[in-house]
Amino acid sequence: MSETVYSSESVPTAPADRGRTTIADGVVEKIAGLAARDVVGVHAMGSGLSRTFGAVRDRVPGGGRSVTRGVKAEVGEVQTALDLEIVVDYGVAIADVARSVRENVIAAVERMTGLEVVEVNIAVSDVKLPDEEEEEPEPRLQ
């Protein structure tokens, strides 16, 4: 019976360790945007201006709804940092909503990407009042 001896330089690597995986900023932004929207008390993502432009883009055929609105990610090789801009519903505890958003986003991004989330900065840009209308432009065509 023969025995194979490997030197440290010739040890075969597992298939999963052969190669490199990179994750684009936009992928992390989509995951974070969807995870943030799942939190009760988050009315919308982005500032008023970005939501207005987004509403126009959503109406253009092929424009699609942007799940990355209000999300900015910086992705490194093993870590990521996120900035989120949210609009909360009137009456919710903003600190609790921000904590829940942070927890949900970190869990989703780390689970799906394997990246370590080092920080999630949240800016609350507005509060949606119950009687306030949405900031969507009037359709030009009837």
Q: Give the model confidence (pLDDT) of 13-29 as tens digits.
A: 888 788 888 999 999 99
| The pLDDT of residue 50 | 47
- Overall average pLDDT of the 129-133 stretch: 84
- Overall average pLDDT of the 88-101 stretch: 98
Relative to beta strand 42-45, strand 79-89 is antiparallel
Task: Say which DSSP state 11 is in.
Answer: P
The pTM score is 0.75
Query: Exposed/middle/buried for 84, CB within 10 Å: 0-12, 13-18, 19+?
Result: buried
Express as a percent the part of the chain with pLDDT over 90.
Answer: 62
Backbone angle region of 19, left / alpha / beta, with phi > 0 → left and psi within -120 to 50 → alpha:
left
Say how far apart CA 69 and CA 133 lie, in whole Å.
20
| The pLDDT of residue 138 | 47
Q: Map tokens 């609790």 to a residue.
A: 96
- Overall average pLDDT of the 101-113 stretch: 98
Look at residue 9 and tell me whether its pLDDT is greater than 70: no
| The pLDDT of residue 17 | 81
- Overall average pLDDT of the 54-59 stretch: 50
| The pLDDT of residue 83 | 98
- Overall average pLDDT of the 70-86 stretch: 97
- Overall average pLDDT of the 91-115 stretch: 98
